[in-house]
Chains A and B, each alone.
Chain A
Amino acid sequence: MTFLQLDKTHKQIQKAVSDFIKGEFKKEILEEIIEQYSFPEDIWKKACELGLIGMHYPEKYSGQGLGIFENVLVAQSLCRGDSSVGGCLVMAGHGAELILRQGSPELKQAWLPKIAQGQILSSTAFTEPGIGNDLDMCCTTAKKENDHYIINGTKTFAMNAGPLAGFYLVLCRTDQAAPSDKAFSIILVQADCDGITCTDVGAKLGRRLMDISQVQFDQVKVPLRNLIGQENKGMAILDDFFNETRVIAAAQALGMAQGAFDRALAHVKQREQFGQKIVDFQITRQKIADMATKIEAAKLMTYQAAWQLENIKKPGLKTGAMAKLFAARAAFEVCDEAIQMFGGYGYMQEYEVERFYRDVKMVDLFDGSKVMQKDIIAAELIKGKGI
């Protein structure tokens, strides 16, 4: 049992991100980006120059050689600066951990530097229309033909699937007969392959600056060496991947909650009604306390989960699941209260908190529903993996 304390490196990272946000997340620039629903390319490239993307990749792959915990700190701070732009930056390498943890040295060399250097975005394509979280119902197939896989199928809610994606990490059925836990593989499909059609999923609740698309694969030819990890071990690989991404998701939610809280607190300290500052009403103070307590608990769970993934031999899936479940829920409640603290202004886009609320709800929805997270947690506890 250890108690976490941020050390000098951690504090330097937080300061670097904070300075970056002060310098680059200017209100007019952000307003323009948001109005145009465009991916924040300039800010993304600058973030890459600063080493904020792929911090946890080894230095030989253009990373900083740091760990999950440092990556979590960056994710938290970027999303605190802005939920939408920060969220885009954090998600720029979404899926890269599959290459990092399971990919061959050739795949790592081919792709990780490109992500860290801001040349491409990483895109994941797991779920399919109508199946939601039930990934074992996937129908996309990868059939071997000589030295290639031929991939056919339709994926949806593929993150970053758009013009900036360099590749898609696709969950495919590689064994048509075996049960689902031994039938799937993760295959890296280069975005410029023939036979790929990308269609935006359409108007959505949040994360509006990100490309999220339906991706159709029609006889797409992919070299066998693009297999991630072992063939037919895709589900187990995904379990570990989601464990890590759920902690990053928790960090995003935490950052968004802090960002909304910062803005709401600043507002109630200066806004006056009924002859006093809103912050001087007892109810406002009760809310501030509730919000801060939720943020504190979410922070500790997220940090603990990140630490456990790196330091405990078999941390179990409930680590990531609990962190995301709690942090996303707490963050949504904090953002909701933040809107309320702004009154009518809270409903106006100009005051930002409604956007934080919408973006944080998106975190709640992806990488597994709440019901699924709880099923995962319960299953491990029942098996004897105690708290």
Chain B
Amino acid sequence: MENNLSDAFKTLHSKLRDLVQNTLDPISLQVEKENKIPEDVVDKIRALGLFGMPIPKEYGGLGLSTLEEILLIEEITKTNACYRSRIGTSNGIGSMGIVYDGTEKQKKQYLSTIASGKWTAAFALTEPNAGSDAASITTSAVLDGDHWMLNGSKIFITNADTAHVFTTVAVTDETKGTRGGVTSFVVEKNMPGLSIGPADLKMGFKGSFTHEVIFKDCRVPKENVIGGMPMVGQGFKTAMRVLDKGRLTIGACALGASEKMLAICIDHIKQKMAAGKSKKQLQAAQFTLADMATRIFAARQMLYHSCQLKDQGENVTDKASMVKVFCTEMASWIADCAVDMLEEDGCLTCNQIEMFLRDVRLYRIYEGTSEIQRTIISRDLLK
């Protein structure tokens, strides 16, 4: 597989690896405790072009393939989850609606600013009564002359604090439901009637923030429908396409975290051996390391393979679901075993494992719970 990667990409991958090892990971505990990524560190991520990985080159992005993007995500998640989260919405759910279905004008207007990292993009779909059941959203958009008036509340919106643009999914025709009644909009932060609630207090993902986003008679220009007026009512499809790719991404996040946890565990056992603990007493730990490594190997194959198929133009909806379920459940299993392996030290944030335990827990929930993934997979099997 390595043979098919360009030299340019290999250089970028190597630069990111260095950034993680020399900058992002060394400040892991500080970011965790202060609940903040320093701005100069965000700049370094920005400088590598990482806010626009899949955005086409003609619009200022890196134009990476799915596989290439996933390889970078795997790398940047070998530390706190928040770094990937900071760029994640711009690369994925926040911008891909515009990439897939936007008008030429919208692509030119927004994509290069997002890709450069100057503007962060967020994705506003989830509501208090529409979690897994995204079709139940009630945020409304009513056409009033030149403008749409948006009313409603979105919750758990990642990067709402730093976002300049929100891909917002709203109901334009209550009678039609998701087939013709839902529209995706580009809403800019300074449009009147938009406000952001306080940051949610979460189990993990320190340094990354989710907020409520409130639309109160929020005036959005008529032309801000993603894809223009012809796409009114077609927004649910856009939203689902955007989420589809996210499954492979989250799989990569879980894989990166798993690989880092395995590395920490291997180091720990080596230290125990050096301190005189016999192999006989470490056999159980050795078998656990073997199980961790085996699962990671399996996860990597299914993830990379699915990315390659997607890049070849194949529909990977079900495979992506399998990848998400497998990788995210693996990460939680590994974190649980890793905490045990470190004994009491496993509970200390400074050893990172407990941070990973908390961070990876979200992966089984957001961007489609494991239950939704299993529904998608089995539905296809039973067609």
**Interface pair B365/A272, CB less than 8 Å apart:** no
**Interface pair B343/A354, CB less than 8 Å apart:** no
Q: Does B336 contact A (CB under 8 A)?
A: yes
Interface residues of B in 307-357 (CB under 8 A from A): 332, 336, 339-340, 343-350, 354, 357
Q: Does B18 contact A (CB under 8 A)?
A: no
Q: Does B9 contact A (CB under 8 A)?
A: no
**Interface pair B131/A273, CB less than 8 Å apart:** yes
**Interface pair B340/A370, CB less than 8 Å apart:** yes
A57 to B275, CA, bound (A): 41
List 7 additional contacts besides A127-B344, A205-B348, A350-B201; criterion CB under 8 Å. Answer: A273-B129, A344-B365, A348-B201, A354-B361, A358-B358, A365-B339, A371-B285
Q: Does B267 contact A (CB under 8 A)?
A: no
A176 to B204, CA, bound (A): 46
- Report chain B residues within 8 Å CB of A203: 29, 32-33, 348-350
| A 178-207 binary contact with B (CB < 8 Å = 1; else 0) | 000000000000000000000001111110
Can you list 19 A-B pairs, Cβ within 8 angstroms, ordered by A? A127-B344, A130-B275, A133-B343, A203-B349, A205-B346, A205-B348, A205-B349, A273-B130, A340-B365, A344-B131, A346-B365, A347-B203, A347-B204, A354-B358, A358-B358, A361-B336, A365-B339, A365-B346, A369-B340
Nearest Cβ in chain B — how far from A129, in angstroms? Answer: 9
- Report chain B residues within 8 Å CB of A132: 343-345
Specify which of A133, A343, A349, A357 lies most central, judged by the most chain B CB atoms within 10 Å of its CB. A343
Q: Does A149 contact B (CB under 8 A)?
A: no
Interface residues of A in 322-378 (CB under 8 A from B): 332, 336, 339-340, 343-344, 346-350, 354, 357-358, 361-362, 364-366, 369-371, 374
Q: Does B90 contact A (CB under 8 A)?
A: no
Nearest Cβ in chain B — how far from A139, in angstroms? Answer: 13
Q: Does B19 contact A (CB under 8 A)?
A: no
Q: Closest B-chain residue to A364, C-beta based?
A: B340
Q: Does A274 contact B (CB under 8 A)?
A: yes
- Report chain A residues within 8 Å CB of B365: 339-340, 343-344, 346-347
Q: Closest A-chain residue to B271, C-beta based?
A: A130
Q: Which of A272, A332, A347 contacts B362 (CB 8 A)?
A: A347
**Interface pair B369/A273, CB less than 8 Å apart:** no
Q: Does A177 contact B (CB under 8 A)?
A: no
A349 to B210, CA, bound (A): 13
Known A-B contacts A344-B131, A365-B340, A369-B340; A202 and B349 likewise in contact (beta carbons under 8 Å)? yes
Known A-B contacts A344-B156, A349-B201; A205 and B357 likewise in contact (beta carbons under 8 Å)? yes
Q: Does A280 contact B (CB under 8 A)?
A: no
**Interface pair B126/A205, CB less than 8 Å apart:** no
Please report the total number of B residues contacting A with Cβ < 8 Å. Answer: 44
Q: Does A283 contact B (CB under 8 A)?
A: yes
Nearest Cβ in chain A — how far from B353, in angstroms? Answer: 9
**Interface pair A361/B369, CB less than 8 Å apart:** no
- Report chain A residues within 8 Å CB of B350: 202-203
A344 to B158, CA, bound (A): 12
- Report chain B residues within 8 Å CB of A346: 365
**Interface pair A204/B361, CB less than 8 Å apart:** no
A332 to B339, CA, bound (A): 13
**Interface pair B369/A365, CB less than 8 Å apart:** no
A132 to B348, CA, bound (A): 13
- Report chain B residues within 8 Å CB of A361: 336, 339, 347, 357
- Report chain A residues within 8 Å CB of B270: none
- Report chain A residues within 8 Å CB of B364: 340
Q: Does B366 contact A (CB under 8 A)?
A: yes
Nearest Cβ in chain B — how far from A116, in angstroms? Answer: 28
Q: Does B65 contact A (CB under 8 A)?
A: no
- Report chain B residues within 8 Å CB of A168: none
- Report chain B residues within 8 Å CB of A130: 275
Q: Which of B29, B200, B332, B344 contacts A336 (CB 8 A)?
A: B332
Known A-B contacts A204-B349, A274-B132, A344-B131; A365 and B200 likewise in contact (beta carbons under 8 Å)? no
Nearest Cβ in chain B — how far from A280, in angstroms? Answer: 13
Nearest Cβ in chain A — how far from B250, in angstroms? Answer: 14
**Interface pair B201/A332, CB less than 8 Å apart:** no
Nearest Cβ in chain B — how far from A214, in angstroms? Answer: 11
- Report chain A residues within 8 Å CB of B275: 130
B residues with CB within 8 A of A? 29, 32-33, 126, 129-133, 136, 155-156, 200-204, 275, 277, 284-285, 332, 336, 339-340, 343-350, 354, 357-358, 361-362, 364-366, 369-371
- Report chain A residues within 8 Å CB of B33: 203
Q: Which of B155, B285, B349, B369 contacts A340 (CB 8 A)?
A: B369
**Interface pair B344/A157, CB less than 8 Å apart:** yes
A residues with CB within 8 A of B? 127, 130, 132-134, 156-157, 201-206, 272-274, 283, 332, 336, 339-340, 343-344, 346-350, 354, 357-358, 361-362, 364-366, 369-371, 374
- Report chain B residues within 8 Å CB of A283: 371
Known A-B contacts A336-B332, A344-B365, A347-B362; A371 and B202 likewise in contact (beta carbons under 8 Å)? no
- Report chain B residues within 8 Å CB of A349: 201-203
Q: Closest A-chain residue to B375, C-beta based?
A: A283
Known A-B contacts A347-B361, A365-B339; A204 and B371 likewise in contact (beta carbons under 8 Å)? no
- Report chain B residues within 8 Å CB of A205: 339, 346-349, 354, 357-358
- Report chain A residues within 8 Å CB of B201: 348-350
- Report chain B residues within 8 Å CB of A156: 344
- Report chain B residues within 8 Å CB of A354: 203, 358, 361
Known A-B contacts A348-B200, A349-B203; A332 and B156 likewise in contact (beta carbons under 8 Å)? no
**Interface pair A204/B348, CB less than 8 Å apart:** yes
**Interface pair B202/A362, CB less than 8 Å apart:** no
A205 to B343, CA, bound (A): 13
Q: Closest B-chain residue to A332, C-beta based?
A: B336
**Interface pair A348/B202, CB less than 8 Å apart:** yes
Q: Closest B-chain residue to A361, C-beta based?
A: B339
Nearest Cβ in chain A — how far from B34, in angstroms? Answer: 11
Specify which of A272, A283, A339, A369 lies most central, judged by the most chain B CB atoms within 10 Å of its CB. A369
Q: Closest B-chain residue to A369, C-beta based?
A: B343
A206 to B349, CA, bound (A): 10
Known A-B contacts A347-B203, A361-B339, A371-B285; A273 and B344 likewise in contact (beta carbons under 8 Å)? no
Known A-B contacts A347-B202, A370-B340; A339 and B361 likewise in contact (beta carbons under 8 Å)? yes
- Report chain A residues within 8 Å CB of B349: 202-205
Q: Which of A272, A336, A371 contacts B129 (CB 8 A)?
A: A272
Known A-B contacts A273-B131, A340-B369; A134 and B277 likewise in contact (beta carbons under 8 Å)? yes
Q: Which of B156, B284, B285, B343 contacts A365 (CB 8 A)?
A: B343
A336 to B364, CA, bound (A): 11
